[in-house]
């Protein structure tokens, strides 16, 4: 039963990873853009929520209403003012620009908040659980995060496959020239994609901060899990990212069950094994493979 | 009324000059065919009109507005739509999704899914198939239909016949005649002289970036066209009504 429990807890953890990673997957899928500051934006969102709670009080749950729209606006402006310019240069320049952004965010946060561990405390929600049987308990927050992750990814996938803005994103990813010749404003498509990506990263960042803790530099570590989820599932594919997150989560909890210190290592090993034997990911890209 | 006007347009690819002070105009409702050998500057001409290439000299006017420095997607919104050479499908999207992307410019007009399926009934059956899996003829029809979805007032067509069986080319040109009959102005770049001369009100033959011959297909002899096409000897430009 402990193994069943490990798998279930792993799935719940994996939901968080998937939620955290889907923005990375979207930006890569639509723009072939690797955002190395992805994890730092999650941490930045968490600090924003932290400051809001400090000043306005209440439970961190209400801060979603402020942080997520703010992240979307930041994403839109970031793409328009900075990342669009990076795309004009070589394939390397987006990496350099977002790497620089990552260093900038981490240092500004460290200057402002110090290097202490912080957490968003959501009261009884953070420790209450539902009992399944004597050996399996499901943390309420964990279950809520998992459900929201699945709904978020399903919603995003539905947006991409059914709505006109989503269709234009896939069209731009598929054939930029044809998209422009069809009257698609590529700059707006990119800015919208980044706005959505940062909104999802803010949701992921806040839940991450509620489930565990964060420091100014923890974004870089989180980024590794996000990359692993995205690559295990298959680049630029949202269902793949969900699956990748779940596989990574289960690998980590099973690893921890074998030896508590080896959880993270087990996740990395599964990632490396998939990279070696199925480098295109579990599900090959459904869009954006032009 | 003049829909499109190019004035003294020179275009370069790097150091290579593709068009040399070209001036031409396209009247509303007409079909202008631009013919010429490889490298004559036909596709360059279309790129200047679609906005993918900026002239190094000269200006492009559409409905008397200077559009020389306007981005391609904005020109689509004004009513200029290019069917590019080689079809350029969104290959991972279905046929119908390809057509729906054509609505991105939000222009109103007679064209929608129903009306383009009426003109190209054979692609309706394939509407849920990924465009990358369609045959060449089907892809060409989807490319034309996708452009029509933007309700263009000027439709630019680059080498519609390329790589297609003659019977399919004939069907596509029959459909294009219907489109033109609906009031859309066509600028057709074509190597298939039979189809080009068959559909056009005016013909323009380019040779090394310059106009070698212009006129109405009815008034041009075959030898005039061939001489201009291959530059055999200086063909005297027709004094007729066509663009000069």
Q: Which residues contact A226 (CB under 8 A, 6 or more apart)?
A: A17, A20, A21, A24, A38, A39
Q: What percent of chain A has pLDDT over 90?
A: 77
Question: Residue A287 pLDDT > 50, yes or no?
Answer: no
Please tell me if residue B153 touches chain A, with a CB cutoff of 8 Å.
no
- One-character DSSP codes across A243-289: HHHHHHHHHHHHHHHH-GGGHHHHHHHHHHHHHHH-TT-SS--SS--
Q: Do B104 and A168 touch (CB under 8 A)?
A: yes
Residues from chain A that touch B76, judged by Cβ atoms under 8 A, are 181-183
According to DSSP, the residues that pair with B211 across neighbouring strands are B206
Q: Dihedrals φ, ψ of A50, to 5°?
A: -60, -45
SS3 state of residue A236: coil
List pLDDT tens digits, range A65-92: 999 999 999 999 999 999 999 888 788 8
Question: Residue B236 pLDDT > 80, yes or no?
Answer: no
DSSP label at B65?
A: E
pLDDT at residue B191, rounded to an integer: 86
Taking residues A202-231, report their average pLDDT: 93
B236 occurs within a structural domain: no
B115 occurs within a structural domain: yes
Distance between CA atoms of A181 and A186, rounded to whole angstroms? 10
| Range 169-198 of A in CB contact (< 8 A) with B | 170-171, 174-175, 177-186
CATH T-level fold of A2-277:
ABC transporter involved in vitamin B12 uptake, BtuC (1.10.3470)
Domain that residue B73 falls in: 2-230
B240 occurs within a structural domain: no
Q: Which residues contact A251 (CB under 8 A, 6 or more apart)?
A: A10, A266, A267, A269, A270, A271
pLDDT at residue A283, rounded to an integer: 81
pLDDT at residue A65, rounded to an integer: 95
According to DSSP, the residues that pair with B185 across neighbouring strands are B154
Q: Do A171 and B90 touch (CB under 8 A)?
A: yes
Write out the H or E segment, with its range, that includes residue A69: helix A64-78
Question: Residue A285 pLDDT > 60, yes or no?
Answer: no
Distance between CA atoms of B3 and B185, rounded to whole angstroms? 8
* Closest partner CB to B76 (pick from A164, A177, A183): A183
Nearest to B24 by CA among B243, B217, B236: B243
Residue whose tokens read 């459904």: A286
* Closest partner CB to B90 (pick from A174, A186, A286): A174
pLDDT at residue A289, rounded to an integer: 42
pLDDT at residue A63, rounded to an integer: 94
Q: Dihedrals φ, ψ of A97, to 5°?
A: -65, -45
Question: Residue B243 pLDDT > 60, yes or no?
Answer: no
Residue whose tokens read 């969104």: B90
Higher confidence at residue B66 or residue A282?
B66
pLDDT at residue A147, rounded to an integer: 97
CATH number of the CATH domain containing B123: 3.40.50.300
pLDDT at residue B237, rounded to an integer: 54
Q: CB–CB of A88/A96 below 8 Å? A: no
The total domain count for chain B is 1
Distance between CA atoms of A279 and A275, rounded to whole angstroms? 4
A145-149, A191-195, B36-40: lowest mean pLDDT where? B36-40
pLDDT at residue B238, rounded to an integer: 52
Please tell me if residue B85 touches chain A, with a CB cutoff of 8 Å.
no
List pLDDT tens digits, range A10-43: 999 999 999 999 999 999 888 888 899 999 999 9
pLDDT at residue A199, rounded to an integer: 97
The answer to ipTM > 0.95 is no
pLDDT at residue A22, rounded to an integer: 94
Question: Residue A290 pLDDT > 60, yes or no?
Answer: no
Distance between CA atoms of A57 and A14, rounded to whole angstroms? 30
Question: Nearest-CA distance from B155 to chain A in Å?
Answer: 12
- Cα dihedral A12/A17/A23/A28 (nearest 10): -130
Mean of pLDDT over chain B: 92
Q: Do A182 and B97 touch (CB under 8 A)?
A: no
* Residue in chain A nearest B132 by alpha carbon: A290
Q: Which residues contact A216 (CB under 8 A, 6 or more apart)?
A: A43, A47, A106, A107, A109, A110, A113, A115
List pLDDT tens digits, range B78-134: 999 999 999 999 999 999 999 999 999 999 999 999 999 999 999 999 999 999 999
Question: Residue B10 pLDDT > 80, yes or no?
Answer: yes
Q: What percent of chain A has pLDDT over 70?
A: 98
* Residue in chain B nearest A188 by alpha carbon: B73
pLDDT at residue A135, rounded to an integer: 85
Q: Do A170 and B90 touch (CB under 8 A)?
A: yes
pLDDT at residue B192, rounded to an integer: 86
pLDDT at residue B7, rounded to an integer: 95
Residues from chain B that touch A180, judged by Cβ atoms under 8 A, are 52, 71-73
Question: Nearest-CA distance from B230 to chain A in Å?
Answer: 31
Q: What percent of chain B has pLDDT over 70?
A: 95
List pLDDT tens digits, range B143-160: 999 999 999 999 999 999
B244 occurs within a structural domain: no
Question: Residue A124 pLDDT > 90, yes or no?
Answer: no
Please tell me if residue B130 touches chain A, with a CB cutoff of 8 Å.
no
Q: What percent of chain B has pLDDT over 90?
A: 80
């Amino acid at each position: 039963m402990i193994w069943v429990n490990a798998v279930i807890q792993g799935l719940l953890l994996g939901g968080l990873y998937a939620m955290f990673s889907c923005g990375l997957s979207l930006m890569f899928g639509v723009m072939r853009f690797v955002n190395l500051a992805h994890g730092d934006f999650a941490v930045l969102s968490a600090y924003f929520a932290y400051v809001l709670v400090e000043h306005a009080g209440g439970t961190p749950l209400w801060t979603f209403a402020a942080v997520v729209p703010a992240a979307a606006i930041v994403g839109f402006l970031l793409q328009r003012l900075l990342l669009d310019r990076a795309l004009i240069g070589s394939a390397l320049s987006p990496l350099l620009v977002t790497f620089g952004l990552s260093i900038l965010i981490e240092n500004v946060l460290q200057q402002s908040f110090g290097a202490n561990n912080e957490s968003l405390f959501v009261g009884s929600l953070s420790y209450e659980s539902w009992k399944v049987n004597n050996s399996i308990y499901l943390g309420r927050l964990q279950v809520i995060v998992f459900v929201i992750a699945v709904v978020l990814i399903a919603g995003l996938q539905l947006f991409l496959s059914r709505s006109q803005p989503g269709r234009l994103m896939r069209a731009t990813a598929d054939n930029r020239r044809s998209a422009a010749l069809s009257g698609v404003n590529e700059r707006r498509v990119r800015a919208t994609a980044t706005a959505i990506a940062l909104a999802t990263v803010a949701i992921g960042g806040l839940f991450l901060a509620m489930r565990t803790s964060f420091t100014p530099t923890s974004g870089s570590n989180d980024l590794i899990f996000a990359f692993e989820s995205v690559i295990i599932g298959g680049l630029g594919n949202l269902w793949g990212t969900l699956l990748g997150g779940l596989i990574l989560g289960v690998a980590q909890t099973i690893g921890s069950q074998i030896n508590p210190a080896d959880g993270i290592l087990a996740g990395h090993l599964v990632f490396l094994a998939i990279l070696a034997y199925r480098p295109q990911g579990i599900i090959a890209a459904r869009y954006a493979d032009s | 009324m003049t829909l499109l006007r190019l004035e003294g347009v020179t275009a370069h690819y790097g150091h290579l000059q593709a068009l040399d002070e070209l001036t031409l105009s396209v009247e509303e409702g007409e079909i202008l065919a631009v013919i010429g050998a490889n490298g004559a500057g036909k596709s360059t001409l279309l790129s200047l009109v679609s906005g993918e290439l900026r002239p190094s000299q000269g200006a492009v006017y559409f409905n008397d507005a200077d559009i020389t420095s306007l981005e391609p997607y904005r020109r689509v919104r004004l009513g200029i739509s290019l069917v590019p050479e080689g079809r350029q499908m969104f290959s991972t999207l279905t046929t119908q999704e390809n057509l729906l992307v054509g609505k991105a410019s939000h222009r109103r007009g007679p064209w929608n899914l129903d009306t383009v399926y009426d003109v190209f009934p054979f692609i309706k059956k394939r509407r849920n198939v990924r465009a990358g899996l369609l045959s060449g003829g089907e892809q060409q029809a989807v490319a034309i239909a996708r452009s029509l979805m933007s309700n263009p007032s000027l439709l630019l067509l680059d080498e519609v016949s390329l790589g297609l069986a003659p019977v399919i080319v004939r069907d596509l040109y029959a459909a294009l005649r219907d489109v033109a009959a609906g009031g859309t102005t066509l600028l057709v770049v074509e190597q298939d002289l039979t189809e080009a001369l068959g559909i056009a009100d005016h013909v323009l033959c380019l040779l090394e970036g310059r106009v070698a011959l212009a006129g109405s297909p009815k008034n041009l002899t075959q030898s005039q066209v061939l001489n201009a096409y291959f530059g055999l000897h200086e063909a005297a430009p027709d004094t007729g009504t066509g663009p000069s």
